[in-house]
Structure 1
Amino acid sequence: MADTNHHQYKLLYFDTPGRAEHIRYIFAYAGVDYEDFRIQKEKWPELKKTTPFGKVPVLEIDGKPVAQSNSIARYLAKKFGLGGKDEWESLQCDVLVDTLGDLQASVMQVMKEPDPIKREEIRARVTKEELPFYLSKFEKIVKDNGGYSVGNDVTWSDLVFAVLLDQFESMYGKTALNGYPSLKNLKEKIHNVPGVKNYLEKRPPRSPLPRQ
């Protein structure tokens, strides 16, 4: 879907999926052109001073910078017809995206913990308790909903699911979603959308994420 208002978009983030990947998926799915500006690690300290709140991603819309990844994603989703067909579906998208954020925060705890003993304790808890708890609930939602997370068509929450499920497979192996066929099918369905598939084929290898 083209942006009928012909806005100029420039997305600023590091050369890694991180907090910007669902925004990139939204642009890819909608078929809307944007500049995917990937910040080099050595350039970040200087560029940081020019951002609204000292963090990225930042989306420049006709040169005006906007911060906060989910605020950006929600805005684009509404603009490109991915925000749900009514206010209730829009609310359900927000609920699922925020809940996915809770799960992602738990997973990130493992990566951020410097102490190896504590890190393994956190990893064990997340792997045995939190991942199965959340993924089983998400599995039921998608299964009961006929293959979508919200409504009967693709919304931005489906794209967020695809991004995070892909990251879980990267961390825990390709068998990580074997017990969750509906989630696995949702991820594959999004990844086979021509625009998303084309983006993934051209996506550069990820670089280490600098500290913000």
Structure 2
Amino acid sequence: MGVPSLTEWPPWNTAGTPFTRRSGSAFGDWAVRKQSIPTGKVPILMVDGRPLAQSLAIARYLAKEVGLVPKDNLEAAFGDALADTIAEMMAAFYKNKMSSVTEDEKERKFNEEINPNIIRPLLGDLNKHLADRSWYSSGQMSWVDLMIAVEFGGLRKSYPKLLDDFPKVAGHVDKVMALPSISAWVKRRPDTFL
């Protein structure tokens, strides 16, 4: 899925806020439309006719709008730090996944470099962090809990044993995925390779 999907995997859906997802042909002539969008890339969030670009900026904005940011600024910053770290991890994963090398080489690089040097250390730290708490920060769900579920749940879809050594992370992903609004969305979303 990756960070762009976090903007679709709605923090706002947990609050029941309606939204409309548009993709592909919904933008009309993309070459023309692209010129009016900051950075010329998607995803974007239209708010009162103004386009907001960048996945993490969108997720943070929406989380603030629906109260999924810790009230304590330091706790919020720790969550932001984890979100940025997960985004960096996923960038390494996608760079490999989308590269032009053979599938065997992609799998070798994942197994020998990305998983042991990037993903597993992060999972180990996160597993320890979640050992004595229900949510990542402040005793209540935040947008970062959604990001944990989006990214590690997506990776687990491609690599079913990925979370086997990290039961707290696996349980956390399952707990978020079981939330009624998230569960309903997962059942109707488009299928992706993650």
Fold-level similarity (TM above 0.5): yes
Deviates more, 1:126-135 or 1:74-83: 126-135
Match of 1:32 in 2: 17
The structure with the largest helix share of the pair is 2
Q: Is 2:45 the partner of 1:50? A: no
**Root mean square deviation, CA, Å:** 2.1
1:70 paired to 2:56: yes
Residue type at the aligned position of 1:63: G
SS at match of 1:198: helix
| 1:2-21 alignment runs, 5 A limit | 17-21=1-5
Q: % of aligned pairs identical?
A: 26
Q: Following superposition of structure 1 onto structure 2, how do residues 1-212 of structure 1 map, counting pairs within 5 Å?
A: 17-24=1-8, 25-40=10-25, 44-116=30-102, 119-123=106-110, 124-144=112-132, 146-173=133-160, 175-206=161-192
Unaligned runs of 5+ in 2: none
Most deviating of 43-52 and 160-169: 43-52
Residue 53 of structure 1 aligns to a residue whose secondary structure is: helix
Higher strand proportion: 1
The question of whether the paired residues in 1 share the 8 Å contact of 2:15 and 2:66 is answered with yes
Amino acid aligned to 1:135: L
Aligned length: 189
Question: Which deviates further from its counterpart, 107-116 or 163-172?
Answer: 107-116
Structure 2 contact 3–151 (Cα < 8 Å) conserved? no
TM-score by length of 2: 0.88
Per-residue CA deviation, residues 76-130 of structure 1 (Å, 9 max, x unaligned), is: 1111110112111111111110111121122112213212375345222112332
Give a deviation string over 1:55-78, Cα, whole Å, max 9, x none: 111000122111111111111111
* Greater relative contact order (CA < 8 Å, ≥ 6 in sequence): 2
CA distance in 2, matches of 1:46, 1:91: 38
Give unpaired runs (5+ residues) of structure 1: 1-16, 208-212
1:106 & 1:30 partners in 2: Cα distance? 32
TM-score (norm 1): 0.81
